[in-house]
Chains A and B, each alone.
Chain A
Amino acid sequence: MTVNNELINQSQAFSDSTSVIDVEDWNVYYGDFHALKSIFLKVPKNKVTAFIGPSGCGKSTLLRCFNRLNDLIPSFRATGRMTYHGQDLYSSNVDAVQVRRRIGMVFQKPNPFPKSIYDNIAYGVRVNGIKGDMDEIVEQSLRRAALWDEVKDKLKQNGTAISGGQQQRLCIARAIAVQPDVVLMDEPCASLDPISTLKIEELIHQLKENYTIVIVTHNMQQASRVADLTAFFNVRVVDDKRQGYLAEVDRTEIIFQNPKEEATQQYVSGRFG
């Protein structure tokens, strides 16, 4: 039973830290299509967990399950158990809006609102009814996202008028302004140049002091640079359809240097995927 072994591996890997999100026997279906098969995973607190794997392996799908963003897809259906600090995320009395306030998200393409830089951050704060000095919150969020110095003189400028790397940091600032507990990042550097990528990676290192971070990435070096824990997802063909599964999860060093699975070894060394 490989699945059980993975569980044991992981609990040994971070037995000292508590988990924020626990996933048990999680399956995702789009209509009849079984997209993700039986995932077991623990996301440790104040660590960076990276999801790597070939395209179509379901890593983004799983990420979007954490903040219930897949609820928007009509054919989406899931079975299994997913808990956040012990609470069932998919229980009928859980409000997805509250979930998303606690579990923030940064998307693959920077998606600032066509509002001013200031309002991009103030928006989330206002809809969540967070009390406090708005100027202070905006400044703090921008400082944490390492963007303050670049935009402090143009807070009234449109958030879509700054560079791609700045936009992505604005989106990170926007996400942390609502004081989440977990920040999900779906390939946050996919559309950025190397310098912006480096800035975001430094930011991830700083953010993990206060937040639990889950990052999906196609960039192997990025995973090895930022992640404490790495989960390798793979895809197999079942009944002519591609099905994603979690192949291996462990400390990042182990995944990159001494993985147990042959496929992981091949993927991280760039031989497929």
Chain B
Amino acid sequence: MTTFDDIQDKVPAPSLEKKISSDRVLDVGFWGLTLLLAISAGAVLIWVILQTANSSLPAIQQFGLGFLTTMTWNPVTNIYGVLPQIYGTLVTSFIALLIAIPVGVGVAVFLTEDFVPRYITTPIAFAIELIVAIPSVVLGLWGIFVLIPFLRPFFQFLNNTFGWIPIFGGGAPRGNNLLVVGLVLSLMIVPLIISITRSTFEVLPPSLRAGSLALGATRWETILKVLIPAGLSGIISSVMLALGRAMGETMVAAMMVGNANRIDISILQPGATITGLIASQFGEAGRLQVSALMYAGLVLMVLSLIVNILAELIIRRFQNIE
């Protein structure tokens, strides 16, 4: 009779030592490859930052931090400052977010909560993602030739009726203004918010929904008070990516913002953005001017960095509710 012990005796003890096999070579090779790719992604970023900083050195030495608070941009006297551009960048991005967040989250809820059958939501979702494929220069042209003429009466109406509110005030509204740039930017970032928020909602456990409904909550209460808070970190990351995109978008701003070197509290007046400034002046810039433009680019990068760090902090804060 064969006992368990007999069988045990016949089986050699398996070796636990490292073996040089093809598996192991692949394993180490793969590790090395991913490490290389990860490092090169970081290295390119650092290279760009260093190069930009280096090129902007003359301007930094000349203007220092005063660059951030100066309103002049004068290639003739070589005095540069980007306060209006910082203001314009922040205002247009803020307008874009103000429109894109509710629309994006709303559409994401609509697409994931089975309000309508799948065969209707799938093409809608596909069409939304196609918006991303439109080149921004095309959107800029569309803005100039279609959107601005279309919205002109609306701007006029806002100015006439709500002109007493400073943000709609100022003189006669212009076609190229901060609001129209914010609108087009919102169109560009809404797909980002929708697709990330949508995938966040899709991976929320269905038991959350059932649990809330089983307590006698309505569908809206479930969405607003359980699902959206549960998916908040995903929503915030989508918003932050979108904000980065809005702040960095160049063509639309350069084509539609008016490139007016001024700070106007009214969003119906033209303004300027950092990206628009760089794009429109780079071609014919003198030496110190190029350096100043590089400095402006550096400012934009730092702005984006601050926004991203803030986002990271917000997400951490919401992830552990204590």
Q: Does B125 contact A (CB under 8 A)?
A: no
The answer to whether B211 and A107 have CB atoms under 8 Å apart is yes
- State whether B230 touches A175 (Cβ < 8 A): no
Residues in A neighbouring B209, C-beta threshold 8 A: 72
Q: How far is the CA of A105 from the CA of B212 in the complex (A)?
A: 10
Stretch of B83-91, B155-163, B216-224 lying at the A interface? B216-224
> A158 at interface (Cβ–Cβ under 8 A)?
yes
In the bound complex, do residue A114 and residue B322 qualify as a contact, i.e. CB atoms below 8 Å apart?
A: no
Interface size on A, residues (CB 8 A): 30
CB-based contact A100/B215 at 8 Å: yes
Instruction: List the A side residues contacting B321 at CB < 8 Å.
Output: 114-116, 156, 158
Decide yes or no whether A190 CB sits under 8 A from chain B. Answer: no
Bound complex: CA of A207 vs CA of B157, how far in Å?
64
Q: Which residues of A contact B225 (CB under 8 A)?
A: 123, 127
| A-B contacts, CB under 8 A, total | 76
Q: What 1/0 flags go to A94-113 for Cβ under 8 Å of B?
A: 00011011101101010111
A111 in contact with B215 given A123-B226, A156-B322, A158-B320 (CB within 8 Å): no
Give every chain B residue within 8 A of A111 (Cβ-Cβ). 205, 207-208, 210-211
Query: Could you mark each residue 100-120 of chain B with 1 if its beta carbon is under 8 Å from any beta carbon of chain A, else 0?
Result: 000000000000001001000
Among all A-B residue pairs, the 7 with the closest Cβ atoms: A101-B216, A124-B215, A111-B207, A105-B214, A111-B211, A127-B217, A100-B216
Q: Chain B: how many interface residues by the 8 Å CB criterion?
A: 23
Looking at A69, A100, A116, the one whose CB has the most chain B CB atoms below 10 A away is: A100
CB-based contact B216/A128 at 8 Å? yes
- Chain B contacts of A72 at CB under 8 A? 209-210, 213
Complex-state Cα separation, A190 to B226, whole angstroms = 25
Write out the residue numbers on chain B whose beta carbons fall within 8 Å of the beta carbon of A116. 321
Does A123 contact B322, Cβ atoms closer than 8 Å?
A: no
Report A-chain residues with C-beta under 8 Å of the C-beta of B215. 100-101, 104, 123-124, 127-128, 174-175, 178
Q: Could you list some 17 contacts between A and B, CB below 8 A? A: A67-B214, A69-B214, A72-B210, A97-B218, A100-B214, A100-B216, A111-B207, A111-B211, A113-B208, A113-B212, A114-B321, A116-B321, A123-B226, A127-B216, A127-B218, A128-B216, A157-B322
A107-B211, A123-B225 known; A114+B216 contact, CB < 8 A: no
